[in-house]
Structure formats: C-alpha cells, structure tokens
Amino acid sequence: MTKTPVEQDIHAVHEETPYQTEQIEAEMKAKYYKDVTVLVYLLKSPSQIDREKACDYLGEIGNPDAVPALIEALGDPTISWLAAESLGKIRDPQAVGSLIAVLGSDEKWLRRNAAEALGKLRDPSAVEPIIRLLDDKKHDVREVSARALGLIGDNRAVPTLQGLANDPDSKVRDAALVSIKMITQKRPVP
C-alpha cells in the first residue's frame, strides 16, 4: 500500500534513532505546523506522542477548524487534558458544552484544563458547573476554577468564592479573593 507523504514522515520518525527522530520531528513541525488537516489526521495516530504534539500545535495555531477534532479528542484519555487546553487557547464557543461535560471527569488534569478553558471562553453557562469544582479534592483544580469564575465575571459565583476564604491552600484562597475583586469591581480581565 502506498503511503502519503505525511505517513512516510511519521513512519520515519518511528524508525529512526533518538537523534534522528528529533531532527525529523523538527522537519515535520516546519513542514506541517500550520496545516490543520495534517494535525487533525495526527490526532488519530497510534502514537501517543504524535497525538500529544498535534493537540499542542493545534492549540498554538488557534484555527477554529480544529475545534471539532479537539472536541472528539476529549474522549481520548491519553490526550483529553491537552485537547481541553488547546480548546481554551482557540476560544471557540462551540467547545463550551463539551468542556462542561468533562468537568465531572475522574482525571484531575482534564477537570483543571477544562475549567481553565471555560474561563477563557467566558461563557456564563459554565458558572454553575465550575462552582461545583470549588469543592474538588485537588487544590489546583479549585484554584484554577476560582480563577476561571473571576474571568467569567458572573455575580452568582461570589458567595461560593467567599466560602473559599478558609480553604487550606493559600493559592486557592488568593485566587478566590482576586476573582471576587474582579467580579465585584468589574475590573477588566486580561
């Protein structure tokens, strides 16, 4: 069976020594970095490294054409957390529902990155689901969720954020205080 040029390049990466692999990967990035079609194709690669790099590059590029494939990648447990991060970088509203859906995941990094992405999207429909993460066992999920609520800027979050004043983690307490100020003083968000 004849391989496409992309498949030939991918095959070359997997057949070479580590030094050659780095060189080939650099060449691939130079060739395909801006090609959303190729990167979407790589999201289905059997290689986790290829899928991770494709997710990362798609987020860096920021092309909304990648959003449907990244939403689908939320279902791949090996790259779901990266897909959520990339969706946050792209900031396309069509990702909101899918990001909200994964907030209940057992995977800490997926919950964290989905909350962060939703904060960047600033969609008020995410407020209540993110508020539920303020009780998460993982302090970094609570911290990022508090920050996300500040970015969204919805007053419904203030009472729950105030409840974080006694959180055992200082970063969570600080994030809650900053978010309360952002919401109540309607400070512009970065």
| Domains of the chain, each with CATH number or no CATH | 122-190 (1.25.10.10)
pTM: 0.83
Residue bearing tokens 């391989």: 3
User: Token digits for 169?
Assistant: 């983690």
User: Token digits for 171?
Assistant: 């970063």
User: Token digits for 64?
Assistant: 């909304």
Q: How far apart (Å, rounded) are the C-alpha atoms in residues 159 and 145?
A: 14
Please tell me the chain's helix, strand, coil percentages from 3-state DSSP, rounded to the nearest 5.
75, 0, 25
Q: How far apart (Å, rounded) are the C-alpha atoms in residues 149 and 26?
A: 38
Helix/strand/coil for 171: helix
Over its length of 190 residues, how does the chain's per-residue pLDDT go in tens digits? Answer: 565 555 555 555 555 544 455 655 556 555 655 788 888 988 998 888 888 988 998 999 999 999 999 999 999 999 999 999 999 999 999 999 999 999 999 999 999 999 999 999 999 999 999 999 999 999 999 999 999 999 999 999 999 999 998 999 999 999 999 999 999 997 555 5
Q: How far apart (Å, rounded) are the C-alpha atoms in residues 41 and 25?
A: 16
Closest Cα to residue 68, out of 56, 58, 60? 58
